[in-house]
């Protein structure tokens, strides 16, 4: 039996949240989605507030993943311990709040979701995600296993995909907010894409007003980043997984743009 997983790229600001509210449940119906993972770490541009997390879950997400902006809004700190449906990177230091992976009961059996963060060009040194994911997989008995790696370097994401090929159902990347055209099945049956993209302002630089990014790169005096106005987009990948074997049969982009 097919088990269809929708992985949604980083939600940016109020426009991204509104796009999710208006469109996620419809997309799930149209694509016959069984399980949905949404990256929410930029819902407040830098971070996620508890009420924004509730909005994303109410809109149809089963799991919200985070990344390098996990602690951008400190209001989320205690919430992470209280809400098992939000994951921060598993390879953060073990003493920080929250959880980095979770097993969810579904009609097709248990589904495990693991959230990781990369180390290349990320400005700090979390634990090694390649070593940690090996340890986590020893604790998981679920047949369907989904892995997100929030990372800057495409090589790091690709290396993770190939290391986990045949051991998990799907691996996808987030963080760069730019979708990649390499959704595919790796040789041993794992669905893969280097980056999902983003959900939010269409005419923007990674969700932010272009003039603000231009000013930064010109060396001008800069302002606080604000999301762009206007049309929006939702970028995502749909993975079709055999629930009996845990192997991925199809990985396809299902982006929607205004």
The whole model's pTM is what? 0.97
User: How does pLDDT run across 189-213, given as a tens digit for each residue?
Assistant: 999 999 999 999 999 999 999 999 9
Q: What is the mean pLDDT of residues 153-161?
A: 98
Q: Would residue 116 be called left, alpha or beta, if left means φ above 0 and alpha means ψ between -120 and 50 degrees? A: beta
Q: Looking at the predicted structure, is the pLDDT value of residue 124 above 90?
A: no
- Domain that residue 192 falls in: 2-257
Q: Which of 237, 235, 239, 189 is nearest to 11 (CA)?
A: 235
**pLDDT of res. 252:** 98
pLDDT band per the 50, 70, 90 thresholds, residue 131: very high
What pLDDT score does 188 carry?
A: 98
- pLDDT at residue 126, as a whole number: 87
- Judge contact between 108 and 34, C-beta under 8 A: yes
pLDDT of residue 225: 85
Please compute the mean of the pLDDT values over residues 34-53 and round it to a whole number.
97
Per DSSP, helices labelled H in 138-209 are: 154-164
Quote the longest CA-to-CA distance of the chain.
57
pLDDT at 153: 97
Mean pLDDT of the region 146-160: 98
- Looking at residue 87, its pLDDT comes to 98
**Residue 31 and residue 24: Cα distance in Å, rounded?**
11
Q: CB neighbours of 71 closer than 8 A, spacing ≥ 6?
A: 47, 77
For residue 15, the surrounding DSSP H or E stretch is helix 13-30
For 204-240, what is each residue's pLDDT tens digit?
Answer: 999 999 999 999 999 998 888 889 999 999 999 999 9
How does the average pLDDT of the chain come out, rounded?
96
Exactly one of 69, 150, 175, 177 is catalytic; name it: 69
**pLDDT at site 122:** 81
Domain count, the chain: 1
Is a pLDDT exceeding 80 seen at residue 123? no
The H-assigned helical ranges of 147-237 are 154-164, 210-218
Catalytic status, residue 69 = yes
CATH number at residue 79: 3.60.21.10
- Token pair for residue 41? 């770490």
Pair 149, 156: CB distance under 8 Å: yes
**Which secondary structure element, helix H or strand E, spans residue 25, and what is its range?**
helix 13-30
Report in angstroms the alpha-carbon separations of 206 from 69, 141, 197. 14, 37, 9
The residues near 156 (Cβ < 8 Å, ≥ 6 apart) are 118, 119, 120, 149
| pLDDT for res 134 | 98
Give per-residue pLDDT as tens, 97-119: 999 999 999 999 999 999 999 99
């Amino acid at each position: 039996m097919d088990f269809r997983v929708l992985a949604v790229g980083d939600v940016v600001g109020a426009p991204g949240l509104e796009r999710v509210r208006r469109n996620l449940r419809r997309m799930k119906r149209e694509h016959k989605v069984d399980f949905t993972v949404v990256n929410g770490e930029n819902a407040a541009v830098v971070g996620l507030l508890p009420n924004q997390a509730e909005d994303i879950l109410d809109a149809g997400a089963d799991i919200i993943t985070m990344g390098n902006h996990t602690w951008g809004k400190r209001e989320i700190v205690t919430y992470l311990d209280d809400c098992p449906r939000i994951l921060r990177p598993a390879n953060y230091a073990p003493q920080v709040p929250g959880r980095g992976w979770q097993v969810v009961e579904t009609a097709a059996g248990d589904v495990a979701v693991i959230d990781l963060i990369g180390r290349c060009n990320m400005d700090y040194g979390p634990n090694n995600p390649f070593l940690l994911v090996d340890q986590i997989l020893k604790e998981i008995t679920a047949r369907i296993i989904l892995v997100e790696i929030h990372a800057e370097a495409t090589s790091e994401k690709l290396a993770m995909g190939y290391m986990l090929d045949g051991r998990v159902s799907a691996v996808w990347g987030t963080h760069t907010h730019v979708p990649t055209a390499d959704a595919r099945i790796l040789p041993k049956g794992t669905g893969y894409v280097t980056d999902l993209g983003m959900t939010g302002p269409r005419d923007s630089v990674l969700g932010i007003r272009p003039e603000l990014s231009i000013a930064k790169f010109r060396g001008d005096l800069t302002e606080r980043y604000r999301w762009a106005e206007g049309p929006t987009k939702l970028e995502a990948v749909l993975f079709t997984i055999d629930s009996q074997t845990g192997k991925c049969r199809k990985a396809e982009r299902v982006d929607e743009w205004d």
